Amino acid sequence: MDYETLAEKSLRGLILEREEMRAVLGAPETQLPELLSAAFRVRHHYFGRKVQIHVLQNAKSGLCPEDCHYCSQSSISKAPIDKYPLMPRERLLEGAVKAKVAGAVRYCMVNSGRGPTEREIEELAEVVQEIKSNVPIQLCCSLGLMSEAKIRVLKEAGVERINHNINTSRRHHPNICTTHTYEDRVETLKNVKSVGLTSCCGGIIGMGESQEDIMDMALSLRELDVDSIPINFLHPIPGTPFQGMNHLTPQKCLKTLCLFRFINPTKELRVGGGREIHLRSLQPMSLYPANSIFANGYLTTPGQRATEAHRMIEDLGFEIEEWQGNGH
């Protein structure tokens, strides 16, 4: 397979054929350098050598009625995690300050649960206004299923982006969650776009999906025209139904990232949760297709410290992107 041809198609705005997508996901390990080089060509065209750092804050932990099989905070999880309601304003503001110090362009507050209550929306809106008054950082919220009205309140408070992942393909979704549908998730995404906020939507690789499911998810995200795509790799947390599911290799993760770059060439592509345990020593290679990472941990699991992320980016000869206050 001539991967440069795929890069050329991607740069011209063309969608790869299914057979070409399979060739990417099934690329021989010996051809991985050529594949990464082709994906980097697309990434460099739109994003240069810049890398965005994002920081997550688990603003409300556990206590969730949903049954997402991958999640330590779900109603069916037996994982020993901290459980608490929405954090007080001071803690969330402190988290934003730390995110800025870590070099993050965006601070994302995440709530467990099916969706936020009216009271939680009001409290978060107040927190957002205070953060925007004190910390020069972009704000994202990941709160579950939401109506246009709730999203609009957050937008008016100063939130620039909403995250809500589709997680996998439409076909595979019932195998990972039964308490809400794939369509429920898409509806929230459509509400985000109709209100006029930028959208963040990705998925989790390694949950028993097929190559076809990965391809379908990449195509769905293109069709939904999301602005930011976080690709997570399943961290099989003990106490969750997926605790024994660990079939990923560093090479498989890299090939997946390359596919998402070819299918969504102009979009921010972020290496998310699980990168530390699945990419291992090949983590720096992920920044050839991707242009964004999380640092300082995830929701209930630790991650690469910001200082280590900075060193990794600099060792590659890349540059940490700073938010200039222009909405980018």
Beta strands 203-205 and 138-142 are unpaired
In 3-state terms, what secondary structure has residue 37?
helix
The DSSP bridge partners found for residue 229 are 269
Place of tokens 């979704």: 173
CA angle 294, 215, 171 (to 5 degrees): 100
> Among all chains, which residue has been given the structure tokens 């300082």?
296
Q: Which residues are catalytic?
A: 64, 68, 71, 108, 140, 200, 270
Please state, in angstroms and rounded to a whole number, the distance separating the CA atoms of residues 235 and 73: 13
User: Residue 84: what residue type?
Assistant: Y
Residue entry with tokens 């200082």: 307
CB 290 within 8 A of CB 318: no
CB atoms within 10 A of CB 302: 10
The label of the residue with tokens 């069916």 reads 76
The whole-angstrom separation of Cα 7 and Cα 59 is 39
For residues 290 and 261, what is the distance between their CA atoms, to the nearest angstrom? 7
Q: 300 with 237: CB under 8 angstroms? A: yes
Burial grade of 89 (CB within 10 A; 0-12, 13-18, 19 or more): middle
- Which tokens is 111 given? 């709530």
